């Protein structure tokens, strides 16, 4: 891959989204109760509908980088193959048994980019969802994509691991589905120790039908100027709302 020499021409736009495995569920209790079977089998027409909505979002917003969690490799979500570079990988540990089981082996995280980007796959020691994408955006800036555990004690340990990954790095953005159901105080120690700030956590992203929790967030270096994020409340593609970050350098 060719390292981008002038990638970050402001504004650089990053889309973050939990795609919910393209089940089309909006996070409502009624939907979970009556359409839970979609996690086992999702009809093709629903997958096509989600794909059309996602492609419409990308065509309208033109993000430079798209970061996704809960994406199915078998559904073929590699949008605009002539315009995007992509990488999708199983979200569990490198030696996890879940990688080989039928219900779990296609559960992935991934990213799409207009440019060819250098990246590394890192893995948490704690939790079931272990994959961490470490992406070089160029100009000394990087981005880590994470998907935290549903268990609070495991999230606490993952925060400690993430702090070690960020040690000595002053220009790293962290984004993902943090599953912080008790609020952003779970991330404050991490943010303060790594010189990060939580960008616009006032607008909830989950559940999409009636948002109450800010689970999908960006943590950006305090020294990074011209940073803003907004939740796209009109986009009901999954049970999480997407978030768009704009960075000026």
For 109-149, write each residue's pLDDT tens digit: 999 998 889 999 999 999 999 999 999 998 889 999 999 99
Any domain includes 121: yes
Contact (CB, 8 A) for 149 and 199: no
Question: What's the CA gap between 217 and 148, in Å, rounded?
Answer: 12
Any domain includes 150: yes
Any domain includes 23: yes
Region 166-191: mean pLDDT is 94
DSSP 8-state code for residue 209 = T
Please report the pLDDT score of residue 207 as a whole number.
Answer: 96
How far does CA 12 lie from the centroid of its chain?
16
Contact (CB, 8 A) for 101 and 93: no
Any domain includes 144: yes
Cβ count within 10 A of residue 210: 11
Please report the pLDDT score of residue 5 as a whole number.
Answer: 44
Any domain includes 220: yes
Question: What's the CA gap between 79 and 227, in Å, rounded?
Answer: 26
CA atoms within 13 A on the CB side of 152: 7
86 phi, psi to nearest 5 deg? -140, 155
The domain in which residue 83 lies consists of 12-247
Cβ count within 10 A of residue 97: 9
Any domain includes 1: no
DSSP 8-state code for residue 206 = B
Contact (CB, 8 A) for 16 and 67: yes
Strand runs labelled E in 21-168: 65-72, 85-90, 107-113, 119-123, 131-138, 141-147
Contact (CB, 8 A) for 203 and 214: yes
Any domain includes 5: no
* 10 — pLDDT class (breaks 50, 70, 90): low
Least confident of 4-18, 44-58, 142-156, 216-230: 4-18
Any domain includes 6: no
Q: Which of 131, 88, 94, 89 is nearest to 113 (CA)?
A: 88
Please report the pLDDT score of residue 46 as a whole number.
Answer: 93
CATH no. for residue 181?
3.60.10.10
Instruction: Answer yes or no: pTM beyond 0.75.
Output: yes
65 phi, psi to nearest 5 deg? -140, 135
* 76 — pLDDT class (breaks 50, 70, 90): low
Q: What is the domain count for the chain?
A: 1
Least confident of 2-11, 142-151, 210-219, 238-247: 2-11
């Amino acid at each position: 891959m060719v390292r981008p020499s002038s990638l970050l021409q402001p504004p650089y736009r990053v889309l973050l989204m939990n795609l919910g495995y393209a089940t089309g569920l909006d996070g409502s209790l009624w939907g979970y109760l009556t359409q839970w079977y979609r996690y086992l089998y999702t009809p093709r027409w629903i997958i096509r509908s989600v794909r059309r909505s996602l492609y419409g979002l990308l065509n309208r917003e033109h993000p430079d980088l798209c970061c996704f969690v809960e994406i199915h490799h078998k559904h073929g979500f590699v949008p605009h193959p002539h315009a995007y570079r992509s990488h999708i990988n199983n979200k569990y540990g490198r030696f996890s048994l879940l990688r080989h089981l039928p219900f779990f082996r296609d559960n992935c995280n991934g990213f799409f980019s207009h440019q060819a980007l250098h990246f590394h796959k890192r893995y948490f020691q704690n939790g079931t969802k272990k994959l961490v994408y470490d992406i070089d955006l160029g100009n000394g800036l990087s981005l880590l994509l994470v998907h935290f555990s549903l268990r609070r004690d495991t999230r606490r340990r993952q925060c400690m691991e993430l702090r070690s990954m960020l040690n000595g790095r002053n220009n790293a953005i962290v984004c993902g589905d943090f599953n912080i159901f008790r609020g952003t105080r779970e991330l404050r120690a991490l943010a303060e120790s790594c010189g990060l700030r939580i960008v616009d956590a006032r607008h909830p992203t989950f559940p999409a039908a009636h948002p109450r929790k800010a689970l999908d967030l960006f943590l950006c270096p305090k020294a990074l100027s011209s940073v803003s994020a907004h939740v796209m409340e009109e986009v009901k593609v999954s049970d999480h709302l997407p978030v768009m970050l704009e960075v000026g350098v």
